[in-house]
Chain A
Amino acid sequence: MNLSLGPLLYYWSRDDVLAFYGEAARWPVARVYLGESVCSRRHLLRLPDWLQLAQQLAAAGKEVVLSTQTLIESESDLKTLRRSVSDGRFLVEANEWGAVRLLSKAGVSFVAGPTLNVYNHETLDVLAGLGAQRWLPPVEMSRATLASLLEHAPSGIETEVFAYGKLPLAYSARCFTARHYNLPKDDCQFRCLDHPDGMALATREGEPFLTLNGIQTQSAGVFNLIGELPALRELGITSLRLSPQSRHMGRVFEAFQAALAGEPTAAAALARVMPGPAVDGYWHGRAGLEHSVQNHA
């Protein structure tokens, strides 16, 4: 079982992005997903910049995957998608079925991303037949459902699980960050730049609940499966996806690497650098915001 760095879901300055991936080259990460998968208005790095980063990371020994935009709305979104597919140098993660069409037509193998909604073995088999070599279950899928799915899964396809980070829960045409500032989406003034880990949304009694990240809504809780490595191994999961956060990402990787090596203090080390309360309800078939340690206490 190895570690993947998921696509950057936030909008950071160009310098911060370059510095982040410069450091990532030294982390214990086998695979790096690059590209803008959330909002087409974010332009500080464009596809040629991501491709250049991809080359640098590949030269540093990382497997590189280009992650495509999840919500495709316009012809210009499709243009970017086609360029990612036609570049041909790197594996591509399809995050909606238009990308699946282009990749299968190009005859190249691809990664089936978590928003393709693969909830059963039959759909996974469709994707495997079209060239998917790796897939991710929807983030809401429980361990039990995943186990049941994998019993009938086609052979040869690898499973990667979203194992750490605020959960990407929803996508909209509306930008909730712009809405907060009373700005129209078309003139959002790129306020996402001021919120490197998204904007906290709490209930009226101050309980952290969600995170606003432009057109994407995430959990406030940080999903964390560091305590579930034996179960993940038993399921035959080959890769864990850790989702970028603005600070201490290197320590997140060190903690997971240590946990994979059986180091008992790894979970405690991770807890110190998490940007929110831990949650793991989805994995246990419950509400996503629940946490098993509290529940069983």
Chain B
Amino acid sequence: MPLDLICPAGSLVSLKAAIDHGADAVYMGFRDNTNARAFPGLNFDEAQAAEGLRYAHDRGRKVLLALNTYPQPDSWSRWTGAVDRAAKLGMDAVILADAGLMRYAVKQHPQLRLHLSVQGSATSYEAVNFYREHFGIQRAVLPRVLSLPQVENVVQNTDVEIELFGFGGLCVMVEGRCLLSSYCTGESPNSAGVCSPPKAVQWKDTPSGLESRLNGVLLDRYGKEEKAGYPTLCKGRFEVGGETYYAIEEPTSLNTLDLLPEMLKIGIAAIKIEGRQRSPAYVTQVTKVWRAAIDAVKKNADAFKPAPDWQAELNKLSEGQSHTLGAYHRPWK
């Protein structure tokens, strides 16, 4: 079925919330740095993963496991061990970024379905088809950098199912090709599974305003009337050419509800909701809205128009209470 709804599960409670409110599949990670949301208190141990799988499978839904950081040479077996556990648990697919790990998965567990993670940075059908030919991937998640016509060109030139991000945190940079976090803190999504890690964040009230710092680097300073957001490195205010502004990106979220008819027409296999680090309440609200929207667009794509209360609900949950179509809409670039 086209336009499967893939929701984030940072915990068992979130997983159940997503399933109960209409996710076709959820994605999760193990409780270590083998996935790109390696935050304290998040993710699943083996027993919880098994319970989550039971809960989803009993209701005819799927569970995907993100193993999408790049294995480090001295702890290679942690990643292969995670692939083995995924196969043993009966995960419906593993989401991988690293070619070496894919080769391992294909060899050891030929029945295990492979998805190419957004962290694999594949933005063309040549790259997607590389992973298809060599490792038999069934689906690829595209980085949030292509316009919709560019996405369509990928879909038309590959047999691999294409999954797109639909809602949530917006990476401005090509996923898997951004080292800003490690430049500032020593830890990046690729090597440590974190971006702008909480342990490096410092808040300080000063006479000139509330300051957010990442490993000592000033990311922003907020006036009394301004609302402070999580200090993600690329969403700070900086000085360039004598001006202070959001030089890389505003604190805003991706929201592609408006584009659903076109995504359906292009043949997008699945829509991914970002946010394994968010609360079960967030997962509940976002899943509800997106289930309703996807059902509506499938029923009648020509008449589809996002309901005002959907947008209002999503805006409440968005970073900076605002949203963007991102790169799918060319003027954003």
Whether B179 and A123, one on each chain, are in contact in the complex, defined by CB atoms closer than 8 angstroms, is no
How would you classify the secondary structure of chain B's contact residues: helix, strand, loop or mixed?
Answer: mixed
**CB-nearest residue of chain A relative to B149?**
A74
How far is it, in angstroms, between the C-alpha of A140 and the C-alpha of B185 when the chains are bound?
A: 11
Whether B327 and A180, one on each chain, are in contact in the complex, defined by CB atoms closer than 8 angstroms, is no
Interface size on A, residues (CB 8 A): 70
What residues on B are CB-neighbors of A212 within 8 Å? Answer: 240, 247
Whether a CB of chain A sits under 8 angstroms from the CB of B188 is yes
How far is it, in angstroms, between the C-alpha of A125 and the C-alpha of B247 when the chains are bound?
A: 39
Whether a CB of chain A sits under 8 angstroms from the CB of B176 is yes
Whether B179 and A138, one on each chain, are in contact in the complex, defined by CB atoms closer than 8 angstroms, is yes
Whether A125 and B146, one on each chain, are in contact in the complex, defined by CB atoms closer than 8 angstroms, is no
Among B100, B122, B178, B221, point to the contact of A126 (Cβ < 8 A): B100
How far is it, in angstroms, between the C-alpha of A138 and the C-alpha of B331 when the chains are bound?
A: 31
For chain A, residues 100 to 132, give those with C-beta under 8 angstroms from any C-beta of chain B: 100-102, 115, 117, 119-127
Whether a CB of chain A sits under 8 angstroms from the CB of B186 is yes
Whether A171 and B173, one on each chain, are in contact in the complex, defined by CB atoms closer than 8 angstroms, is yes
**CB-nearest residue of chain A relative to B331?**
A184
For chain B, residues 167 to 220, give those with C-beta under 8 angstroms from any C-beta of chain A: 172-174, 176-180, 182-186, 188, 190-191, 215, 217-220
Whether a CB of chain B sits under 8 angstroms from the CB of A199 is yes
How far is it, in angstroms, between the C-alpha of A75 and the C-alpha of B172 when the chains are bound?
A: 22
How far is it, in angstroms, between the C-alpha of A289 and the C-alpha of B214 when the chains are bound?
A: 12
Whether B182 and A140, one on each chain, are in contact in the complex, defined by CB atoms closer than 8 angstroms, is yes
Whether a CB of chain A sits under 8 angstroms from the CB of B127 is yes
Whether B177 and A119, one on each chain, are in contact in the complex, defined by CB atoms closer than 8 angstroms, is no
What residues on B are CB-neighbors of A209 within 8 Å? Answer: 217, 238
Return the CB mask of A144-177 against B: 1 if under 8 Å, else 0: 0100110110000000000000010111111110
Whether A174 and B333, one on each chain, are in contact in the complex, defined by CB atoms closer than 8 angstroms, is yes
For residue B43, give the distance in angstroms from its CB to the closest CB of chain A: 21
Whether A122 and B71, one on each chain, are in contact in the complex, defined by CB atoms closer than 8 angstroms, is yes
**CB-nearest residue of chain A relative to B146?**
A73
Whether A170 touches B178, Cβ cut-off 8 Å, given contacts A101-B130, A126-B100, is yes
**CB-nearest residue of chain A relative to B133?**
A101
What residues on B are CB-neighbors of A140 within 8 Å? Answer: 179, 182-183, 188, 190-191
Whether B183 and A287, one on each chain, are in contact in the complex, defined by CB atoms closer than 8 angstroms, is yes
Among A174, A201, A219, A288, point to the contact of B238 (Cβ < 8 A): A201
What residues on B are CB-neighbors of A145 within 8 Å? Answer: 72-74
Most buried by A among B153, B184, B219: B184
Give the interface size class of chain B: 35 or more
Among B76, B146, B172, B238, point to the contact of A120 (Cβ < 8 A): B76
Whether A180 touches B241, Cβ cut-off 8 Å, given contacts A203-B217, A205-B218, A287-B215, is yes
Whether a CB of chain B sits under 8 angstroms from the CB of A139 is yes
What residues on A are CB-neighbors of B101 within 8 Å? Answer: 122-123
Whether a CB of chain B sits under 8 angstroms from the CB of A282 is yes
Whether a CB of chain A sits under 8 angstroms from the CB of B131 is yes
Whether a CB of chain B sits under 8 angstroms from the CB of A72 is yes
Whether a CB of chain B sits under 8 angstroms from the CB of A88 is no
**CB-nearest residue of chain B relative to A169?**
B179
Whether B247 and A204, one on each chain, are in contact in the complex, defined by CB atoms closer than 8 angstroms, is no
For residue B197, give the distance in angstroms from its CB to the closest CB of chain A: 11
Whether A126 touches B103, Cβ cut-off 8 Å, given contacts A71-B174, A172-B173, A199-B241, is yes
Whether B71 and A185, one on each chain, are in contact in the complex, defined by CB atoms closer than 8 angstroms, is no
How far is it, in angstroms, between the C-alpha of A217 and the C-alpha of B333 when the chains are bound?
A: 15
Among B71, B130, B147, B180, point to the contact of A119 (Cβ < 8 A): B71
Residues of A within 8 A of B (CB): 70-75, 77-78, 81, 96-102, 115, 117, 119-127, 138-140, 145, 148-149, 151-152, 167, 169-176, 179-180, 184-186, 199-207, 209-210, 212, 217, 219, 281-282, 285-289
With contacts A72-B124, A199-B240, A202-B238 known, what are 5 further pairs, Cβ within 8 A? Answer: A98-B127, A119-B190, A140-B182, A201-B240, A210-B183
Closest 9 CB pairs of A and B: A122-B100, A98-B126, A173-B145, A123-B100, A288-B183, A119-B70, A101-B130, A98-B127, A170-B178
5 pairs of residues in contact across A and B, judged by CB atoms under 8 Å: A73-B145, A123-B101, A173-B332, A180-B247, A288-B184
